[in-house]
Every structure is written in C-alpha cells, then in structure tokens.
Structure 1
Amino acid sequence: MCGIAGIFHCGTPKPVDPRRVERMTDALAHRGPDGSGVWTAPGVGLGHRRLSIIDLAGSPQPMHSVDDRAVIVFNGEIYNYRALRRELEAGGARFATNGDTEVILAAWQRWGPDCLTRLEGMFALALYDRGSRQLFLARDRFGVKPLFLARLSDGSMAFASELKGLLAHPLVRRIADPLAIEDYMTWGYVPDHRSILKGVEKLPAGHFLLLDHGREPPAPRQWWDISFEDRAGGSTADLSAELLHRLREGVTSRMVADVPLGAFLSGGVDSSSVVALMAEASRDPVRSCSIGFDVAAVDETGYARQIAERFGTDHRERIVSPDDIADLDRIAGIFDEPFADASALPTLRVCELARESVKVALSGDGADEALAGYRRQVFHHRESQARAILPQGLRAPLFGTLGRLWPKADWAPQALRAKTTFLSLAESDAQGYARALAILDAPARARLYGADMLRERGDYRAEDPLIALMADAPARSGLDAAQYADLKFWLPGDILTKVDRTSMAVGLEAREPLLDHRLVGFAASLPERQRVRGRQGKWLMKRSMERYLPQEILYRPKQGFVTPLAQWFRGPLAATARSIAANDRLIDSGWFDRNALATLTEQHISGQSDHGRVLWQLVMLEKSLSGMGLRG
C-alpha cells in the first residue's frame, strides 16, 4: 500500500519542478514510510511513497517498463498478478522484478485501458505512456483506494491519494464548497461526487481518465459497474455452496503477502466469517485484534473473544473511552475532509493495535452492502413491497398526513417511533431510502443553517444525487436499487474512506476480502429471498456459515461498530457540545445559525432528544476546517 501524487500539463508540456512533486508526496509519508521516489519529464511528474508488502526489495516506484516506454506510480495490491504475469510472459513480456507493479505496466502495454478488467484487487494508479504521451489515471471497482484531482490555474492537473497531498501544491485554493457542507450535514461525509474544496474532484470508483498534452481533460470513463438485473437459479443448497466458494476465494486471494498478516475481529458475522476462513486456510494461528468500549451496551469484545477462542487465534483487544476524544484533532487531520462516522475513532484504535504485530489486516467490510445486511435495507425491502401494493395517489396523502402528525419520539420504544416510516411510505422508493440514510432530513438541516448558507445552497438538496442514482440503477426491485446505492454511494464515501485513512495513518494495509468483485457479482444475482427473509438480512451468508459459526453470533441483532456518542455528549463531553454554538468558525462562515445550534445542544444534554450524531458532525466539521485553514 502506498501514496501517489503527480502533476500533468494538459496544455503545453511545461517543465515540472521535481521538488514540488516531492513536497506533495512528503505530505503522504504516513502512507508509505518504507521508501519514496520522484520522476519528471516535460509536462509530467510522478511521485510515490512506498509501504512494502510484496517483493519487499525489488519493486521501487516510480517504476519504468523494461523497454522504458511507460512509467507508473501505483497504490494498492493486485491479487492475481502471478497468473497475469504467466499469461503476459507467454505472450513475450519480460520482467525485471517479482511484484505486481511491473505486471500492470506490461498489462497496459498489451491491452491499453482494457487491462483494468483483468486486474483483481484494489488500486489507484497513474501511468505515463512515453510513446503516446498520455497519462492514464484509474481507480479500482469499488473505490477502495482514493484519488483526488485538481485542475490548476497554470493549465495543469494535480493528483494525490489524499487531499493533503494536493494542499502541498501552492496553486490549490483553500476555499470550501458550501454544497459540500450540505452533503456533509446530510450524510456525515462528503460523497465522491464532490470535495470539500472548490476546484477539487475525486476520480469515481470504477472509472479511468486518459489525459493528453494539448487537449482539454475529458470526462472520466466508467470501466466497471455492478448489476442486479440477473437472477441466479438453483436450490438453496447449490447457491449456498457457490457463495461459500466465493467467500473462500475472496479470503484466500487476499492472504498473499511477504509480511505478517492478521485480521480485525468485531465478533459480528462478517469479521467472524473472515477469521474462520483464514483459520481454515492457514497453518499458523490467525492474529486477530478487537476494540471495545467502556459502555457495556455497545461493547462487543465478549463476542470477539468467543470467536478467537473457537478458532485458536492469537488475539488482542483494547478499550476505547471518552479520554480518546483528545485525539479529535488528529482524527480530523487524518481525514482532511470533514468525516463524522464516529466509528472512525475505534477503527483507528484497532488499526494501531493491529500494526503493533502485523503489516496487513483483513476486514469484514462489504458484505452488508452486497448481501443486504443492514437493517435499513431490510426495512426498505418491506416498505418497497408495501409501495407496490398501494398506489402513489393513496399513499402520499394517507402516510404523509400520518407522518406529519406523528410525534418525533427519540426516547420511545422502537415500535412507537413510526414518524420516519410513515413519511417514507408517502414517498417513492428512492426518496424513502434517501430519508433512511440521511442523518438530518432537509427541513432539519434548514433549521440549522444561516441565511448565507440557505442562499448559497439554492435549490440543491444532498438527496438529489442518491435519488438519481437509484432511479438509474441496473436493478429489478427496490432492494436491488438500495443495495446498488450503498455499493456506489455509501461504501466509497463512508466505509472505505474510513478504513483507508485510519489504516494508512499508521502504515497498515487493510484488505477487504468480502469485496472481491466475483463474490459481489454473485451476491447481486441472488434472488431477494436468499438475501432477506422476514426481518433477517444477509440470510444466505448466515446459512452458509452455520458450519463455522455459532447461532448466537450468526443470528444476534446486528450492532455494528457503534460509538456511545449520546452518553458521552451528556456526560464527559457536555462542555465540548456546548462549545459548538460559540464557535466563531462555524457561525462567521454564515453556514449556521448560533441560536439553532445552542437549542440543539441543550435539547440533547437534557435528554429531550438524541442529537449525538449531529453534535459529532459539527465538532468534526469545525476540527476539519480549522486543520486545513479553510474559509467559506
């Protein structure tokens, strides 16, 4: 795993100062503490920071092809590189190293952009072809590895693995985009279609960009997408056997490394499944690590310990407490963009714990998106079925009225909190799912915004891109479209961003075996009944893992990596919550109304409402803006 950065002149190929590229890569030193390199030619400069995982001594970057016609910097791992190398050698390719980077160079020279479809792995890469004088930028299927782009005033395009790499370039402006604030206050992160900085973009997952000197940069081109349009046939037993084969394939392919390897273990279905299949494939004990909390209601270390004992892992654990909040400035600096998934804190801690003994760790991320493991997906499935029965003309007035009249009761039992469900049933499938995903709906955001923000936001609503994505999804049902949105919107924007930044911050490579594209493609073809039955999501995966995992692990209520924000902001962090309304950076920007923030805070501390997630959003927003020195 590594960090990459570079500069490409889209107009006249002006000289590139290697010191400028070096400063950009130095800002990414945490991603690659094992080595660095810079290469420049007229109109192009490529920089690299290396975390050595495969071919430890033999694959420095930037790397040149054997014939010196192509140069690459690459962040990620290609798990099928050995098979690709054999195929390329059979066609006459020659290699000077034993790693995966040189295989990409040879694949490019054989197949051009079509080489991407042959790569199995996670990657962001920049490859300069000296023959065609083109720069090829590409990102993996799901967006496991990031790539930020900035078009600059001198006619060049700069790119980097993280925003801090771009910020090391003097021509990148530090002006915040108010529409990104709207996105962030809705989702808790800035999705991939936008950046917190005006003029900065993210190359979308499953896309590439081919740049030429003397030509305006084209729009990125999609090279891969997931489809839910086909349905697999066969009995439950046959589908279960196929799914288990795909799970094994995903896990074993990601166990290739020339350094110590371990696993994150939460005690949930996904991470437990990964550990079980690793233990099956390994002669040595799996090295596992877990993070818990000092609040018993959200602590899962007991379940993780149970799995560790079952499979004889070399297990370690650590507890997160409110004292860890002292690391907020560090967390904000790790993410650059505002990021309010509170599980980032325990994820950072588990990465630190893992890095003490290994350099690579496998995670359980991706199965919920691919196999319908989220409660919201199960609820959406049932709501979608209800919408299909009742016509819109009946649903909208009936459930809309019920939703407006029903009180918002955060304190009440789940069964009595029906307001969101009624409002969702009054809407379309896509609108209803957007409501389920949003931390704050549009009216709630508007109550917090200042006059300047309301004016700058205009008619834009953060839900619009998600609704459009679901409307155009290659899907046959509401559940299909919801899962498609999670894979394309939520997964790269939240989950993969969280794991990439926290793992890279400590020089750890995290791998996602349950995001093997063959596994996800098969999961997307499963009939709905194999994904959801009654209130049970991820049904076939749980059925398939019954031979490995106990019932209390497979079928206990899903908890997730939950941080006890509500309790913390009513107790040890109450002063931090009250400081939000007095924060000049948030108020002077014109984005927020001071009185509205003060009211929100006191409602939470008094127990009248649960605004823990929103308070965390606001705290992390201020930390992020301050850390980058941004202005509105």
Structure 2
Amino acid sequence: MCGISGSYGFGVDAEGIARRMNSALAHRGPDGEGLFTDGQTSLAHRRLAIIDREHGAQPMTTADGRYTIVYNGETYNYLELRAELEGLGRTFRTDSDTEVLLQAHVEWGTAAYDRFNGMFAFAIHDAQTGTVTVARDHFGIKPLYYWIDETAADGPQVLFGSEIRALLAAQRFEAAPDDRAVYRYLKYRVQDDDAQTFFRGVRRLMPGQVLEISAAGTSITPFTSLQEELREIAARPSRPYSAEVVDEYRGRFHEAVRLRLQSEVPVGTSLSGGLDSSAVAAVIARHLREQPQDESFSAVGARQNTFSAVFPNSSNDEERYVDALLEENTGQITSHKIHPQPETFLEDVRDFVRTQEEPIISTGPYAQYAVMREASEHVTVLLDGQGADEMMAGYNPYFYVYLRQLRRQKRFKELASEVVGSRDILRKLARTKYSGRTSVPIEALLNSGFVAEHSSEKITSVQDDLKERLLEDTFRSSLPSLLRYEDKNTMRFSIEGRVPFVDKELLKFLFSLDESAIIHDGWNKRILRESMDGILPDAISKRRNKIGFTTPEGEWFRTIAPELMEIFASESFASRPYFDAPSVIALFEDYIAHPGNHGTMMFWRLLNVELWMRTFFDDPENSSRSLGDEAAADERAALAAASGAAATDGPGTTAAAGTGATADPASASAATDSEQPKSDYVANPDKQLDLVSDVDRRTWRRLPLQTELVARGDDLQTLVRERIERFAASLPTDVVPDGSPWYFVISEKIIAITQGRSWFTWEITPRPAAKVLSRFVTRTPAGIGLGDPTTMELAIKEVGLPRVVAASAAGAAGKIIGRKGLFYEVVGANVRAIDGPTPYSAFPSNVSAKLPPKDPDAVSASLSAAIRGADIPAALRDSFVGTVVMDANDIGRNVLGSDVSVPHERLEATFADNPLGQGRQRTPLAILVDLGAASQR
C-alpha cells in the first residue's frame, strides 16, 4: 500500500510539482519516497513496505530504461503471473508484485490489467513514446483522482494522485466546490457514484478504467468487461444450489482470505461483530487452530489480532457478538476493543473531515477511523468485511427488490414463500415507513436558488432484478463509498486495508448460482451463512439485525448538541450558498427538544458540508498538507475558532414549539439571499410590473414589496404601516400617477403566521386517517393543497373528519361524472386555502403548514385603517382604495378577503402571472395600481 502521484505537461515545473504532491501523501507511505521526471512527465511515490521490503522501492524502471511504474496496492495472483512471464522469457530482479505488474505491462500492454486479481492504482511511463498510462482496479478498491486541462497550448496538462490533497498541493488550479455534487449529496445522499468529485474539475478514475496521456491528448477507456461478463454469467442456466456448492464457496472464500494474508509485516482483522467481518476472523482463527504451521498464515502470528469498536449500553452496540466469536476461539485471538466517545469525536472531527476529503453519509465511518488509529499500534495490514452486503444482498431493501423480481417473473409460489420467510423484515421496513416521524424535505433547509438550479437532478435504481441491483450497488451506488472510507481511514494511520469479499473470481462464482443462494426463505447471504456452519457461532450466522461499524449517532448528537448548534448558528454557515440557516436552526432546536421526532443523518449532511467547506476552502493551506503534519492539538478549539462569530447564548431565534416564529431578520436575510435588497419599484426576476387584465382590459401595475420575516404574535398593523411609509418616502412621481386608485395586497401566509395559524411540520402529528386520505389528493410541486398528511390533518381539525370524508366521496363521484371541484365545494373555502410546506418559500413557510387566516375581511379593514393613519403624502392617502388578502401561486389565485367593493374576479385576474415572490425575494406584499383602460395607455 502506498501513495502515488504524477503530472504531465508542465515542463520545467514538473519536479517541483512532484515534490509538493509527494509531500502531501507522506501519511500513505512512511517507509520511503521516490521521484521520477522525464520530459513532460513526473511520477512520485510514497511507500508503505509490505512485500519485498528490501528491494521493492519505487519508482521502478525496467532494465532497458524504457518503462517506469509507480504503484499503489496489492496483486494477489502475482506469483502465478510471474511464473507465466518467466515461462515467456521475462527475468526479475526483485520478489515484489510491483515488478510483476511492470513486466506484465511490457509483455501484454493494457490487456494485462484484466488478468490482475487484487487492488491497484498505478501509472506507467513509456520513455520511448513519452506517454503515461494510468489504471485503477476492477472494483475501485484503490483510489485515483485526476485533473485535466486540455486547453494548454502545448498539449494537455494533467495531474493525478491517490488523494485529492495531492492535486491541490500541485498549486496548478484553484480549489472550488462542485455545486452539483453538493446538491446530490444533500438531496439524495449519494457520493462516489460517478466520476465527478466534490471538487470542481477534479474527477475520479472509475473502476476498471485506464487513462492514457500523450502530447496528442487524453483518453479514458475500460480495460475490463467484468460487469458485462457478470451479466452474461447471470443469464446462463444457474447451477443448482446444493451442499457441494456450499462447500465450493467455503473453499473459494478461504482462498480469498489466504491470498490477502501475503505480507512481510503483521496482519490483523477488523471485527465489527457482524456476519461479514466475523466470517473473515473465524476462518483465520480456525486455520490457526487446525494448521498452525502453515507458512501462508505466518503474517498473522500465533494469535490473530482483532480490532473492534464497542459502545456499551448503546442501542447499536455489537460487543456481545464480538464476545461470542472470541469465546469460540479462545487461544487464537487477541482482541482489542476501542471505545469511541462523542467528546473524542469533537476533538477529531476536523482531522476526520480532512481524512475523508469529501463529505460522507454519516458519522459511522468515524468508528472505523478510531479503530484504525488503535490498530496502527499493532499491525500494518488489516483485513475487513467490506463488499459482502453489496454482493449478497446484505441490506433489508434488497428483499423488496427480490420480491418484485419474483412477481415480475410470475414465480408466485416462491414469492409467497419469501413473503412468509421475510415477514419480520417487511414489518420492520413498514414500521419505519409509517412510523409517524415527520419527514422534513431537505429542500426546506436549503437555499431556494440553489435548489432551483439543480431541481432537474434525479436518482434512479434497479427495482425488480436482484443481480442487476447488486451489480449497480457493487460498482456504483454503495460499495464505492465504503471503499473510499476504508482507504482514507486506513491510510490516515499508514495501514493497508484488504477486503477478501471484493474478489472478482468469488463474485463470478456467486453470479453463476441461482438467486436462492443469495436470498432464500427470508434469509439473505444464504450461502455465506451456510458455509460458516460450524465455523461461526449461531448467534452471528443466524443474526437478523444488521448494524456494522457505525456510531450511536443519535445519542452522540444529543450529547454534543450545543457544539453542533454553534456551527448551525455561525456566520460562516449562514453565508454559504447552500443552506437556509433559520430553517436548519428551527429544526435542530426541535430535535434537541424532541429527539424522537427526527433522525440525525440530514443534520450530519448539513454539518459535513459546512465542516468540509471550512477545511478545504476557508483554510486551503491546511487542506493540501499531509495528514501526518497535523499537530495533535485540541481540534475542538480550532473548530470553534473557524466558526467565526458563532452565537454564544444559543441561536438568534424564538422558534419555540408552537410559535412558528423565526430567527433574527438580518441573519435570516443573510442565509437566504446575499444580494442587495430589492427596490420597491422594480419587478421580481422574470416578472413584469404591468399587466393588461383579461377580465376588464385595464392595465394594472404590481409593485412587490420586500419585507422582513414575520413571527407569531407580530403586530401586523404596525409592520404594514411602517412598510407603506418606507415605500412612499422615495416614491418616484410616475410610479403611482396622481389620482390613480391603488390597493394594498397581502399574502394570506404571513397573516396566518402572525395569527398563530401556522405550525412547523414537525409539530403536527397526522392521524392515520390523514395519512390515508392525503394519498388520494394530487400533490402539487409547490406543496399547496391536501396532498401532504400535515395539511390533511389541519383540514380535519378545521372542519372535522366526517366532512372531509364526505368531500372525498364527492370528489371521487365527480371524477366519475366528469365534474371537477366537488371536493372543495363540499369541504369549503377554508380548506381550499390550507397550505403545506413550500420549499421555495421563505422561512418559516418552507417548513410549516398553515390554515387560512381567520376573518380575512376584518384583517383587511384593520390594515386599511393602519395605512390611512400612516405618514404618507395626502394625495397618496386619498387615492388608496383598500386592502386585499390574496392567496396567489403559480397554479391559481383566490381572494380570501378584502374591504373593497371590486369583484374578486377582477382582483384575481390582476395576479394572473403571480408577480409576488415568497422565496428568496421575500415579497409577500404588493401595491396594486389601477392605471386605467388599456386602450388609453
């Protein structure tokens, strides 16, 4: 295991670039370093010596001086390849697998790479042609990142390396976040699923790809057809499942483990207590007991060292399963138990974020980080159980995929058997889905402009083909991120991580079997479980619950909530272009008060992006240094210092339960929009001031007024009076012509908020009837209507369940006879005006549901009185007509109340294009001016 880096196309700067890049990777290779430069090419290597420690130094060059390699990884079948190459006349100067790869490239070119069984990322320079060939293994176990500038005058400029920090250290481009990657992570929890990284312009070489670089340009092509081969294997008649098949799998798995024990340094095992890592540890322990003299296991030693993260008294602690394995293998295992704590996590979090380089899905990998720190004191190589879940359906949602497949294939007898066998898992999935926990969409916590920019992003997955879904998750959707965590955490502490399940021959064997070898009678990983009979304790091999290496995140977040709130309340968090800080603060406050209402993964994603931004963009010099250069100082203090002017007495918010209140308007404005305040006399973006009404053919001018956010209990009359005074203070003479009648228009939303008729969605607990009835209502993109359980619950509370049910029946009958609107005719106008959370609205409308305002006619009259009492020019006061409460959106308009005699139809037509903006614009008020007959204008 090592760190590699290189460049192409930088001429005389090549050596300096190589030294900086190599220095950034010192933690990956403390046992040696080397540089190579030739013309436009530089190669650099940091060595963690595992095999042929005496002679395997790199860069390594062939005897004729033509080919030079830098290589990171292990090729487990290198001895067989070496024998074959020697038979072809090749000679070797070392015993390393590095030289085997180099000679294989010389003999077979890129066709050699598909023959390698292992984990690798390497670059080979050809001095004769001046080209560089870069490749990454079949599964992407070893990382390889690159940056390309094809616009350089003298040919491409390319940087590549084992970690992104090496590319940053080259100082040839400015680091910037990739907003698409950030959005997809925040919205869909995806990462590592394509070539795009979180750094703009930096890409990852995908599994099984080769990057070829020359003066003519660059090209990326696959060197393997492994995925297609697996599909072909799956399409053939399957091997019947039998005891012989189980025995063969056991032998193949044992061989996969044995191959990964090749080492001249100590080897240990990562042991979570789950089925996969326990199988690895148990196979090694049994072999030590039965064949203690086997030299191929010598790197393990007389006793196997295992390393486990345990969380006593926590809901996700797996120590009892670890202990079960230890008890069955007394004398073969020396156990090391690590106890990660939330306080230690705070101290480590900045280094942990730097280690991972890109945001991750949860704090779970921190448990692995803590384990690797301890393991580095005892071993240099560590085996782990990654990959088994993606290859043998280890996650519960795979059951749904398999059931859908059986239904699609009309295999109803097997379908019935699987439903019965997996009923406990299906019940668990159903309980999670219908738990009653309020799900706040992530869009409600994000900047509306950021969401709008990326709203076309979609994520799909295979739903009814088990093996195709396993392929998708193995090569794209799941395993790549786990392999990234593995590599970053192990190499942070100069450990080589090896993953026996991620073996192409083992996977080919699995795909040759029927799906019943993977899922059968409600049990996943069937063949692994049965192959471990007599090797693993039943408590482990027959486990139904899966936990894995993770942290008790919910418990930790409650412990360190004040420190997390400091981050959410900081100026830096509010200034990011991604977040709606007041919404995040309000939701996190409710989490602190009612932790059962919310999960933590959404909060972690927000925190992780913020900490990642601080680490790699607010402090760029720190981001490109080697991890080994980081002083073991109090990282928590550094984190607090980086937060800027964080709140000291909690966040600036009054969003107590039931208030619907909001944060300080100034900080809220900074969080939602960094632009200058909008002029009262210009239209919102993509809108216009003047409209010719289709109803009365008159020209109407609409002037949207930007205002501060409101909260429950605010004095709306005072707010409106002061706002109209500000509007009139600098009013241009031609905006509201003398004598032109004008109206004040106000959105029903802010009236409802001030009246206390608006609630955060997490404050509303929908009854079962609300959940059922909401499914039969069309959901609108803007969140309007009763297509959400929270709004349906408000409707039931407003008019009663019998009336809502009767209206639903009327609506269903209306569909049959072709008559629309019967539902709302029966249920009434008050229900029609109920609004749900609208992600594009300003806080708190984006995270709340609202009843229509109470007595809107009376509200209109009171606001008109306030306007007539305002300090405004007499001519403007005299031409004022009155107030209109308008429910306007992109779907329709509805006047809820007014104190004017103008027919509602005429007033509604003036807002046909919805000129208000309640997202980033924060313009829920408007001045509506009657400019007269259109033909006269």
Band the TM-score falls in, shorter-chain normalisation: 0.7 to 0.9
Taking the aligned partners of 2:568 and 2:615, their CA distance within structure 1 comes to 19
**8 A Cα contact 1:180 1:190, kept in partner:** no
Deviation, structure 1 residue 96 = 1.2
Instruction: Establish whether residue 247 from structure 1 lines up as the match of residue 250 from structure 2.
Output: no
Q: 1:488 aligns with which of 462, 475, 478?
A: 475
**8 A Cα contact 1:173 1:197, kept in partner:** no
Q: 1:25 aligns to what? A: 22
Q: 2:510 aligns to what? A: 523
Larger Rg: 2
**8 A Cα contact 1:252 1:281, kept in partner:** no
Taking the aligned partners of 1:218 and 1:420, their CA distance within structure 2 comes to 50
Q: 1:404 aligns to what? A: none
Taking the aligned partners of 1:202 and 1:415, their CA distance within structure 2 comes to 37
Change over 3 Å in CA distance of 1:199–1:343 after alignment to 2: same
Q: 1:532 aligns to what? A: 519
Structure 1 letter corresponding to 2:250: L
Structure 1 letter corresponding to 2:344: D
Instruction: Establish whether residue 348 from structure 1 lines up as the match of residue 348 from structure 2.
Output: no
Taking the aligned partners of 2:578 and 2:313, their CA distance within structure 1 comes to 34
Q: 1:396 aligns to what? A: none
Deviation, structure 1 residue 146 = 0.3
Structure 2 letter corresponding to 1:559: I
Q: 2:595 aligns with which of 600, 607, 616?
A: 607
Instruction: Establish whether residue 126 from structure 1 lines up as the match of residue 94 from structure 2.
Output: no
Deviation, structure 1 residue 602 = 2.4
Taking the aligned partners of 2:428 and 2:455, their CA distance within structure 1 comes to 37
Q: 1:579 aligns to what? A: 566
Figure out how many residues of one structure are paired with residues of the other and give that number. 577
Q: 2:165 aligns to what? A: 164
Q: 1:402 aligns to what? A: none
**8 A Cα contact 2:324 2:537, kept in partner:** no
**8 A Cα contact 1:3 1:50, kept in partner:** yes
Instruction: Establish whether residue 336 from structure 1 lines up as the match of residue 357 from structure 2.
Output: yes
Taking the aligned partners of 1:548 and 1:14, their CA distance within structure 2 comes to 58
Change over 3 Å in CA distance of 1:415–1:598 after alignment to 2: same
Structure 1 letter corresponding to 2:518: R
What TM-score, normalized by structure 1, do the two folds share?
A: 0.87
Taking the aligned partners of 2:362 and 2:491, their CA distance within structure 1 comes to 17
**8 A Cα contact 1:71 1:127, kept in partner:** yes
Taking the aligned partners of 2:407 and 2:447, their CA distance within structure 1 comes to 38
Q: 2:551 aligns with which of 563, 575, 584?
A: 563
Structure 1 letter corresponding to 2:552: P
Q: C-alpha offsets along residues 174-217 of structure 1, whole Å, 9 cap, x if unaligned?
A: 1111101112212264434311111111000111112222x121
1:351-500 → structure 2 map (5 Å cutoff): 351-386=372-407, 415-419=430-434, 444-461=441-458, 463=459, 466-467=460-461, 470=462, 478-500=465-487
Deviation, structure 1 residue 456 = 2.9
Q: 1:433 aligns to what? A: none
Q: Judge which range, 525-534 or 260-269, deviates more.
A: 525-534
Q: 2:497 aligns to what? A: 510
Higher relative contact order (CA 8 A, sep 6+): 1
Q: 2:272 aligns to what? A: 266
Q: 1:629 aligns with which of 591, 613, 617?
A: 617
Unaligned runs of 5+ in 1: 391-411, 422-439, 472-476
Taking the aligned partners of 2:223 and 2:572, their CA distance within structure 1 comes to 39
1:32-431 → structure 2 map (5 Å cutoff): 32-152=29-149, 154=152, 155-185=156-186, 186-187=188-189, 189-213=191-215, 215-226=216-227, 227-228=230-231, 229-230=234-235, 231-282=237-288, 283=292, 284-311=302-329, 312-325=332-345, 326-386=347-407, 415-419=430-434
Change over 3 Å in CA distance of 1:234–1:608 after alignment to 2: closer
Taking the aligned partners of 1:479 and 1:378, their CA distance within structure 2 comes to 9
Structure 1 letter corresponding to 2:159: A
Deviation, structure 1 residue 518 = 0.6
Report SS of the residue matched to 1:174: coil
Structure 2 letter corresponding to 1:202: R
Taking the aligned partners of 2:52 and 2:362, their CA distance within structure 1 comes to 35
Change over 3 Å in CA distance of 1:592–1:319 after alignment to 2: same
Report SS of the residue matched to 1:4: strand
**8 A Cα contact 2:135 2:210, kept in partner:** yes
Q: C-alpha offsets along residues 578-617 of structure 1, whole Å, 9 cap, x if unaligned?
A: 2343233343232111222123312322225223111112
Taking the aligned partners of 1:143 and 1:363, their CA distance within structure 2 comes to 16
**8 A Cα contact 1:565 1:616, kept in partner:** no
Report SS of the residue matched to 2:566: helix
Report SS of the residue matched to 1:356: coil
1:586-597 → structure 2 map (5 Å cutoff): 586-597=573-584
Change over 3 Å in CA distance of 1:188–1:209 after alignment to 2: closer
Deviation, structure 1 residue 386 = 4.9
Taking the aligned partners of 2:498 and 2:447, their CA distance within structure 1 comes to 42
Taking the aligned partners of 1:136 and 1:203, their CA distance within structure 2 comes to 12
**8 A Cα contact 2:34 2:58, kept in partner:** yes
**8 A Cα contact 1:569 1:576, kept in partner:** no
Q: C-alpha offsets along residues 253-293 of structure 1, whole Å, 9 cap, x if unaligned?
A: 11110111111111211111111221233422212111111
Report SS of the residue matched to 1:19: helix
Q: Judge which range, 505-514 or 294-303, deviates more.
A: 294-303
Structure 1 letter corresponding to 2:339: I
Q: 1:554 aligns to what? A: 541
**8 A Cα contact 2:474 2:480, kept in partner:** no
Taking the aligned partners of 2:362 and 2:84, their CA distance within structure 1 comes to 43
Report SS of the residue matched to 1:562: coil
Structure 2 letter corresponding to 1:286: Q
Q: C-alpha offsets along residues 93-126 of structure 1, whole Å, 9 cap, x if unaligned?
A: 1111110111111000100001101111100000
Deviation, structure 1 residue 163 = 0.6
What TM-score, normalized by structure 2, do the two folds share?
A: 0.59
**8 A Cα contact 1:295 1:564, kept in partner:** no
Change over 3 Å in CA distance of 1:625–1:295 after alignment to 2: farther
Unaligned runs of 5+ in 2: 293-301, 412-426, 621-673, 675-937
Taking the aligned partners of 1:376 and 1:208, their CA distance within structure 2 comes to 34
